[in-house]
Structure 1
Amino acid sequence: MSTRRLDPRAGLVVAVLAVSTSAILIRWSDAPPVVAAFYRVLFTTALVAPVALGRHAEDLSALSRRDLLAAAATGVALAVHFAAWFESLSWTSVAASVTLVQSHPLFVAVGAWLVLDERVGRKTAVGVLVSVAGMAVMSIGDLLGGGVGPAPLYGNALAALGGLMTAGYLLAGRSLRQRLPLLPYVTVVYGVAAGCLLTITVASGTPIRGYPTHEWLLFLAMAVGPGVFGHTVLNWALEHVESSLVSVSLLGEPLGSALLAFVVLTEAPGTATLVGGAVVLGGVATTARARSAPE
């Protein structure tokens, strides 16, 4: 069936369900986080690259130096996002980590103002301030010992860094995505990200081989589920629905991941995480909607 016949809203549902499994799959893995991140991106690239090369070889060969630089910047940002976020799940709760990594609309709004000189309207400013207040609540709760994990404040900081890098990924890839079809775009970006993660893994002295069979199955599941059916479908949906709808839909990931963590991992987030997380998500939703409509 042609993707043009698919309902983008149904695609969003599938994508949110798929990305909601990501944190659980990472927690199930005993491999070093950077290794899991590397193989997730590598296997995702391996799944989409043959189609991209078969159908869009001319688009890839026609990439200019400017496009290659944009792809490199986008891939580097994506690599840092994965490295920081995967690591964060070793230190803080699933609920806190996924909530903070989904705060990227806030960083996009601020980045667009600083880098692209876009106007920040009243509703956008309110959304950013509300989310910052929610992050403060979560951090205060961690300082008072209400967080989940061996070092929740550190894990939350890594997750926020992951959110910041997602914003960089979106801003850096904006122009490239307008000129390239979906599969060539994600192939280039995923490929650069995989190369960066491999470099980080080797430089840190972390082994990239010798893992048991169940780890390789988890790496593949991360690539097929959150990778192909999650983020790649979300990139496709951006062609057919407003970006604000995609951003707001992604707020379902923290809810889905937290629920799965409670059921599968018996992990219940603390009160500060629940309250602060709800405030953060409310601010993110306000920011995403405000940036798509005149204020």
Structure 2
Amino acid sequence: MNPYAAILAGVLAAAFSSIFTKLADAPPLIIAFYRMLFTVLILTPFVVKNGIRQIKEMKGGDLGLACLAGVFLALHFSFWITSLNYTSIASSTVLVTLQPLFVISGGYLFYGEKIAPRGAGGAVLALAGSLLIGIGDFQIGGKALLGDLLAFAGGFFVAGYVLIGRGLRNRLELIPYVYVVYTATAALLFLGNAAVYSDPLGPYPAMTWLWFAALALIPTIMGHTVFNWALRYVKAAVVSVSILGEPVGATILAFFIFGQVPGMLQLIGGLSILLGLALFISSTSGASR
């Protein structure tokens, strides 16, 4: 499978994350916990069949790093999902997808991954488009500022998750790796909720359980897992910058589902993102192994 085609398909799946989260009638950490729990349950039959031995054979350092990736992912979900209660889908998605700033820096620092000038120009263009999508929605002070800060923190933590995956996926198979990561994420989200919020694990409306399952199947398995698969074949920055396409899809979906009409800046920003992604991906396509 072409890793670039897979990444773009993963971006499309990830665009549903904000929508399903907004539709779920449950507290933020509960949504994140059930998203990951359902993901683990869906993957368990595949692990039982093929992956248990590989998990047992993981070295202590690799197992610890995989769990650390799960910690970063749990923090990402906690901060980002909470941000949706204080700011709009557009602003939250834009700020959380500023994570390429951290990934490109970390990729160079830890793995010596350099970006060609043409690719850097594409990344800058895509980042500028992301800012345009959300700039009209940014507010100084009040709940909107809190939501923006939470979303930005979510971007930092997801960058750590991507960078760890870039290193481990070179020597670990996909399903055993993500199973450890997702299990650690679910466990931390459960403990975090119990220690801080004590939100009930149920009951919730029937449709909310459906949104939990949808979050697991589409943006997690078809989104995050695809990104982790691609990390073996492309630079971390390729996956990270490609995720900038998520605000475009999320904004379009928000228009049809919630009636959130994009303004002129958001339309221009979406075009900028698409052009920037095309430039970036075309400049790095030779990186595929």
Shared topology, TM-score over 0.5? Answer: yes
Aligned counterpart, 1:210: 203
Q: Give the 3 Å change call, closer, same or farther, for CA 128–114 of structure 1 in structure 2.
A: farther
Output the CA distance in 1 between the equivalents of 2:133 and 2:19. Answer: 25
**RMSD of the alignment, in Å?**
3.4
> Which sits farther off after the overlay, 258-267 or 280-289?
280-289
Instruction: Report the count of equivalent residues.
Output: 285
C-alpha distance in 2 between matches for 1:266 and 1:167: 31
Distance 1:288 1:178, change over 3 A: same
Residue 3 of structure 1 is matched in structure 2 by none
What does the per-residue CA deviation read over 1:254-273, in whole Å, with 9 as the maximum and x for residues that have no partner? 11110010111001246666
Contact 1:95 1:254 in 2 (8 A): yes
Question: 1:133-164: per-residue Cα shift (whole Å, max 9, x none)?
Answer: 9759956862369xxxx833222221211111
For the pair 1:172 / 2:164, whether they are aligned, the reply is yes
Superposition deviation, residue 99 in structure 1: 2.0
The 5-angstrom pairing of residues 128-143 of structure 1 reads 131=127, 135=131, 142-143=138-139
**In terms of mean alpha carbon deviation, does 131-140 or 213-222 score higher?**
131-140
Mark the CA change 1:171 to 1:237 in structure 2 (over 3 Å): closer, same or farther: closer
Q: Name the amino acid aligned to 1:195.
A: A
| 1:138 and 1:273 in contact (8 A); partners too | yes
User: Is residue 51 from structure 1 mapped to residue 51 from structure 2 by the alignment?
Assistant: no
CA offset at residue 95 of structure 1? 1.8
Q: How far 1:228 moved relative to its partner? A: 1.3
Residue 193 in structure 1 maps to residue 203 in structure 2: no
Give the drift of 1:275.
6.3
**TM-score, normalised by the number of residues in structure 2:** 0.82
Residue type at the aligned position of 1:192:
A
Deviation at 1:170, TM superposition (A): 1.5
Confirm or deny: 8 A CA contact 1:99 1:280 kept in the other structure. no
The equivalent position to 1:255 in structure 2, one of 248, 257, 261, is: 248
| Worse-matched range after superposition: 40-49 or 89-98 | 89-98
Cα offset for 1:248? 4.4
Instruction: Judge conservation of contact 1:105–1:284 (CA < 8 Å) in 2.
Output: no
Cα separation, 2, equivalents of 1:270 and 1:180: 44
**Residue in structure 1 matched with residue 221 of structure 2 by the alignment:** 228
Instruction: Flag the 1:10–1:112 CA change in 2: closer, same or farther, 3 A.
Output: closer
Change beyond 3 A, Cα 1:87–1:219: same
Q: Tell me if structure 1 keeps the 8 A contact 2:254–2:260.
A: yes
CA–CA distance in structure 2, aligned partners of residues 141 and 191 of structure 1: 35
Q: Tell me what 2:72 maps to.
A: 77
| Aligned equivalents of 1:239, 1:118: Cα separation in 2 | 13
Corresponding residue number in structure 2 for 1:30: 25
In structure 2, the residue matched to 1:154 is 146
Q: Offset at 1:21?
A: 1.1
Is contact 1:248-1:285 (8 Å) kept?
A: no
* TM-score (norm. length: structure 1): 0.80
* Percent of pairs with identical residues: 39
Aligned 8 A contact 1:127 1:286 in 2: yes
1: CA distance between counterparts of 2:28 and 2:225? 21
The unaligned stretches of length 5 or more in structure 1 are: 1-5
